[in-house]
Amino acid sequence: MEIENSMPDRILVADGQHLFRTALHDLARKAYPLAEIREADGFDGLMACRDFNPDLLLVDFYCPHYDAVTSAKWLRGEYPASYIVLVSTVPDQKVVDNVLDNGVDAYVSKFAEERALLAAMTATANETLNEVRIDEKDPRGGMTERQREVIDLLVQGKSNKEIARVLKISPFTVRIHVSAVLRYLDVDTRTAAAVKATGNGISQSHVLQRDSERGR
């Protein structure tokens, strides 16, 4: 079995405040000491770093003259393969939900503790996640679009590397999405996730392979 890379090779930290940007940089270095980390100062910096192709994007940014949802869509369009963590001060939970539905993968308040941001970056804890219940009327409603794509491919028995290839994202990003899916389904293994997703109508894929444990 191939050993898959679950660490980000490239991290981009984007924030208009120098002190906070430096703090994010230091925290990212603490989590991933071997990653290449670059910084971007606001809109112009983000535009200049598109060719960097970060695996992980830590950002506090809204497009000039655009609302939060449009900004989230813009970020996803410019950084299609990145795992995007919005580190900001959004007072309205509805805005947070809309941003998460339109391109951003995770949100952490700037007022949160360090461990919350580390959890969002590494997907190893639940501090940043709200408790999620599966809605029987809309079982896929509590998942992001990317998570739905991942669960469909996971049910087909694809490994993280294969999922990354299909979705054109990094194995690191896939790992975080798989971890989020396991938490959403309240299971510990990929096989259990595939079975539960198929039984609950969460997955739209009808192919379930017994070797879906590979790639974990």
Tell me the torsion sign for CA atoms 142, 148, 150, 153.
positive
pLDDT digit string (tens) for 40-86? Answer: 987 888 889 989 999 999 998 766 677 888 888 888 899 988 889 98
Domains of the chain, first to last: 10-122 (3.40.50.2300), 145-213 (1.10.10.10)
Predicted confidence at residue 140, as pLDDT, reads 57
The confidence score (pLDDT) of residue 1 equals 25
Alpha-carbon span 158 to 155, nearest angstrom: 7
pTM of structure: 0.67
Task: Answer yes or no: are the C-beta atoms of 99 and 90 closer than 8 Å.
Answer: yes
